[in-house]
Structure 1
Amino acid sequence: MLNRRSLLTALAGLAAAGGFGALPALAAGKRRLPWRNWSGSQQCLPEARVAPATLGELQELLAGSSGIIRPVGAGHSFSPLVPTDGTLLSLSRLGGISALDNESLQATIGGGTRLGDIGQPLQDAGQALLNMPDIDEQTLAGSLATATHGTGSGLGCLSSFVTGLQLVDARGDVIECDADHNADLFQAAKVSLGSLGVITQVRMQNMEPYRLRRETVWMELEDILENAESMAEQHRNFEFYYVPFSGWGFTDSHDLSNEPTGATDKADPNAGVMTLKSVRDWMESAPALRRFSLSTYASFLDKEVTVGNSWSNYANERNVRFNEMEYHLPRESGLRALREVIDTLESSHHEVFFPLEVRFVKSDDIWLSPFYGRESLSIAVHRYFEEDYQPYFRALEPIFRKHGGRPHWGKLNTLNAGDFRALYPHWDDFAEMRQQMDPEGRFLNSYLSRLFGEAGV
């Protein structure tokens, strides 16, 4: 059987023979335990790092301290939501499933629980999350704070499955909210950027455990674009990727299945990304030869099929680090924007090798959800973590904005408070709720203070 990576390497060798601002500097001073996010694009030297083990400890910490405190999850966000010179608060010791209702298929889960630690225990208890993103390292509270999403035209972001929240405010008071109690706070807290309080418990609407049949199919780009809308309606979950300078991409679909678990041979996506980097290195100045090599390689790739429990089938292992920008566009204009993105990428940014990722998300009514009031198509672009993302992202962001895009809260963007106010009908309602919940701005770092018009902290 032909080795895929060897084929691409041979083809490439044959062909070759023929305004986002600088990364923040570490603050001066003798402080311990510097913090960096997963990609290294955000960093800080906090005065303290704390991880309370009980609700009571958290209350005591908040009530008995002063200064800025920022909740931190797994560090998988790229935007400057976390960095502070004050206190970083981890909920890593406040996790796990604490209550189950198998009649309503709801479960109460600790905010510090990693998404990847929810699936098996929840299945053992007779439930499963309705949907999941393609990375499961994030904490539940962090995922909700940034409106983290999977894909599926009939499925919303994770926050849309929340039926109740427990949070602790800056005074150490515990507040419960849902659609019937503290309803406005509930609409604000489901996507809050960690600025209202510390989310300690989340009640999620789930379903019975289910299996998914996942199919990955390589296709020419024009065939993908021609069929993307219909495939999004045909499959429970559907997304697609485009490999720059290839003319090819692959579709990734999930559907409910009763088949036995199993899988065909699968390519290693991390090795694949690094192979794309090698091809870029060899042929960055020869896009035609690069396209020949990549398109020939893609034409040899077989369909991959995996049948597994839902929670095991959603997630991909991402070991190659990157920085990311993602915008959520009105679905009706999303594919037009994508064509502009590809044209700009392939005409001016030969240094890019990471595939583009395109997903579909259902609308919701959450105040700061990027999917508020509209069906959305999300486009994510990436740069290798050791390379400068700024020129590429700067070139693409005007395209996303022209088409009415809203950025993912956890991904890089250059928008300010005025820009967000124009994009979110409930922006001022959220700001007022934030002021009520935290009048002293204890949960605001410098970035959030600029967004919500507070004095610098």
Structure 2
Amino acid sequence: MSRRHLNRRQLLSGAAALGLVDALRGGTLAPWLVSEAHAQTPTRAPAAPRRWQNWSGLQQATPATWATPANEAEVQQLLRRTRGEVRAVGAGHSFTALVPTDQTLVSLDRLHGLVSVDRAAMTVTAHAGTRIGALARALDAQGLALRNQPDVDVQTLAGAIATGTHGTGATLPALHDEVVGMRLVRPDGELVEIDARRDPELLAAARVSLGSLGLVTRVTLRVVPAFHLARHVWLMPVEQALAEAPELAQRHRHFEFYVLPFTGYAACIRHDLYQGTDLALPKSADEDVLSDLKQLRDWLGRFPRLRRWVAQQAIDPQLTESARHRSHRLLSSVRPTRFQETEWHVPREQGLACLRAVVDRLEQRNEAFFPLEFRFVRGDGAWLSPFHGRDSCSIAVHAAADEAWAYLIDDFTPIFRAHQGRPHWGKLHRLGAADLAPLYPRWADFAALRQRFDPQGRLLNAHLRQVFGIT
């Protein structure tokens, strides 16, 4: 039977299942880089306190002071003249309470753009507030690219690095592993330049810091020549996907899959290098896809066996989707539907067993309809990296932003912890220092460094005081 290509509007008949992947995988387009002259305009404070909330709407705060420094000197002045708690904010794509403060909130959005390109070293330096999508486009104009990138490209460079944000690829590390240098301003206003050659230990600590060492102003990272990718999306029974995942992850540059709950199917995605010039990027399926799965839940949620039977009758496993384009165009896309998320990283050898347990638990909840994401990430040496010292599998579970979400923590934390999981720093979890310290061999070293950089704890909010065990 020949494989057929996806049409746009088919209730759970391929497009509905596969298009769901696109709805979950990307981020909205970031603003284009603006001129340096615009970036140097004077800082203007808002007329009255205004409320901040993160992308999902879960985290909110009304800081007493909003600050929007335009350069490093203004960051230094800000930290010297203010007192009390200071937190930095990027794009607000963290689900945990990393940002909220009622004191000083600092946006680095005006510190953006490409600073320099070193083609001999194949590195670039960018301002910390640069959105990943904007950086990718600026690199592409130079014939360069990120080796890999997260699937939400509206995140700021500093925010993505600070939380260990990653893409997928068994041989590809998270974004922070590409960092070879950075500049940050300590709470006392001192500008610190960190370089991999001069102080590799300090860089290993600063790569993933949760914003607790200082306000990052510039980042230098490795890049590669620009390249094309070919994407192929197909459906596979869940059991088959579990059996073939390790081999598929080794064979393809990028491989991941989404378990479609209560259907018995997984949507698999692979990306490989593409040398051709025949580029094609079909428009992704509508947001109606998620609505279709939600409606199936609403209609048959009380009858899970019937729900699964109807889904399996409707899904055509022969349907596929293909695309070929620049790497940054395929590795990120749009996420209009808002959700809450927990994500954990487990040792690769425990990944599939953990996934089975998570799927079994998820399908005990008839209200679930969001797919469950499974990815591969190479290990690295950053002290607080969730991938520190081990190749990992990442498992992410979602719930609609306007529905109950506490079960994401209550139901799955015990499963992830039983498989030596480390939580994504930007995704929902309730772990504190007593739980986290045994998971990170360099935890005590980081704690000592954090105390040296910020002895008064000015960069800590309530959430980070819990994380680091500071009373």
* TM-score after normalising by structure 1: 0.92
The amino acid that maps onto 2:268 is T
Judged with a 3 Å threshold, the aligned counterparts in structure 2 of structure 1 residues 413 and 451 are, in CA distance, closer, same or farther, namely same
Post-superposition CA distance 1:156-175 (Å, at most 9, x none): 11000101111111111111
SS of equivalent residue, structure 1 residue 200:
strand
Report SS of the residue matched to 1:170.
coil
Cα offset, 1:248, TM superposition: 0.4
Asked if residue 382 in structure 1 is aligned to residue 402 in structure 2, the reply is: no
Tell me what 2:122 maps to.
105
The aligned residue for residue 440 of structure 1 is 456
Map residues 137-156 of structure 1 onto 2, 5 A cutoff.
Answer: 137-156=154-173
Q: 249, 255, 267: which one pairs with 2:272?
A: 255
Hey, what's the Cα distance between the residues in 2 that align with 1:217 and 1:2?
10
Q: Where in structure 2 are the equivalents of 1:274-293 lying within 5 Å?
A: 274-293=291-310
Alignment of 1:284-303 (within 5 A): 284-299=301-316, 302-303=319-320
Contact 1:63 1:171 in 2 (8 A): yes
Distance 1:2 1:60, change over 3 A: closer
**1:136-285 equivalent positions in 2, closer than 5 A:** 136-263=153-280, 265=282, 267-268=284-285, 270-285=287-302
Q: Which amino acid aligns with 1:173?
A: E
CA-CA distance at 1:126 after TM superposition: 2.4
Counterpart amino acid of residue 390 in structure 2: R
AA partner of residue 222 (structure 2): Q
Which amino acid is 2:140 matched to?
Q
Q: Determine whether 1:402 maps to 2:425.
A: no
Q: Which residue of 2 aligns with 1:16?
A: none
Which stretches of structure 1, 4 residues or longer, exceed 6 Å deviation after superposition?
none
Give the equivalent residue in structure 1 for 2:367: 351
Question: Counterpart in 1 of 2:469?
Answer: 453
- Deviation for aligned residue 1:222: 1.4
What is residue 429 of structure 1 aligned with on the other side? 445
Return the letter of the residue paired with 2:380.
D
- 1:413: which partner in 2? 429
SS in 2 for 1:357: strand
Distance 1:215 1:229 in 2: 17
- CA distances 1:30-74 after superposition (whole Å, capped 9, x unpaired): 972111100111111111111101111111111111111101000
Q: Which amino acid aligns with 1:168?
A: V
- Residue 118 of structure 1 aligns to a residue whose secondary structure is helix
CA distance in 2, matches of 1:264, 1:452: 44
CA distances 1:223-244 after superposition (whole Å, capped 9, x unpaired): 1111100000000011110100
Structure-2-length-normalised TM-score: 0.89
> What is the alpha-carbon distance in structure 2 between the residues aligned to residue 409 and residue 432 of structure 1?
20
Letter in 2 for 1:145: A
Q: Structure 1 residue 333 and structure 2 residue 350: aligned? A: yes
SS state of the match for residue 319, structure 2?
coil
What secondary structure, in the 3-state scheme, does the structure 2 residue paired with 1:117 have? helix
In the TM superposition, what whole-angstrom CA distance separates every residue of 1:9-43 from its partner, at most 9, and x where no partner exists?
9xx9xxxxxxxxxxxxxxxxx97211110011111
CA contact (8 A) 2:183 2:191 kept: yes
Q: Secondary structure at the match of 1:303?
A: strand
**Local SS of the residue matching 1:317:** coil
Deviations 1:397-451 (A, max 9, x none): 1111100000000000121101110100111110100011011111000111222
Q: 1:409 to 1:2 in 2, by over 3 A?
A: closer
Q: Aligned pairs, how many? A: 435
- Per-residue CA deviation, residues 269-318 of structure 1 (Å, 9 max, x unaligned), is 63312211111111101112211222233325621111110111100211
Contact conserved, 1:78 with 1:412, CA < 8 A, in 2?
Answer: yes
CA distance in 2, matches of 1:414, 1:90: 26
Unaligned runs of 5+ in 2: 17-46
Instruction: Return 392-401 or 435-444, whichever deviates more.
Output: 392-401
Deviates more, 1:298-307 or 1:150-159: 298-307
What amino acid sits opposite 1:385 in the alignment? A
Q: Counterpart of 1:390 in structure 2: which amino acid?
A: A
Counterpart residue identity of residue 375, structure 1: D
Do residues 370 (structure 1) and 386 (structure 2) align?
A: yes
Q: Return closer, same or farther for 1:229/1:6 CA change in 2, 3 Å cut-off.
A: closer
Q: Is 1:129 matched up with 2:127? A: no
Q: Percent identity?
A: 45
**Residues 1:198 and 1:7: Cα distance change in structure 2 (over 3 Å):** closer
Query: Given that residues 166 and 377 in structure 2 are in contact (C-alpha distance below 8 angstroms), is that contact kept between their aligned partners in structure 1?
Result: yes
The 2-side partners of 1:77 and 1:378 are apart by 16
Distance in 2 (CA, whole Å) between partners of 1:268 and 1:393 is 30
Contact conserved, 1:31 with 1:46, CA < 8 A, in 2? no
1:266 Cα deviation after fit? 5.2
| Shift in Å, 1:265 | 4.8
Q: Which moved more, 1:322-331 or 1:39-48?
A: 39-48
| Shift of residue 250, structure 1, vs aligned partner | 1.1
Aligned equivalent of 2:332: 315
Deviations 1:184-206 (A, max 9, x none): 32111100000000111110101
Give distance in 2, aligned partners of 1:392 and 1:173.
Answer: 40
Q: Does 1:88 align with 2:105?
A: yes
Give the AA of the match of 1:67: G
Pair 197,379 (structure 1): closer, same or farther in 2 beyond 3 Å: same
Q: Aligned letter for 1:328?
A: H
Classify 1:431/1:115 alpha carbon distance in 2 versus 1 (closer, same or farther; 3 Å).
same
Corresponding residue of 1:19: none
Counterpart in the other structure of 2:30 = none
| Aligned partners of 1:239 and 1:360 also within 8 Å | yes
Root mean square deviation, CA, Å: 1.8
Deviations along 1:361-420, whole A, 9 cap, x unmatched?
A: 001111000000111000000000001111243111111110000000000012110111
Change (3 A) 1:264 1:66: closer
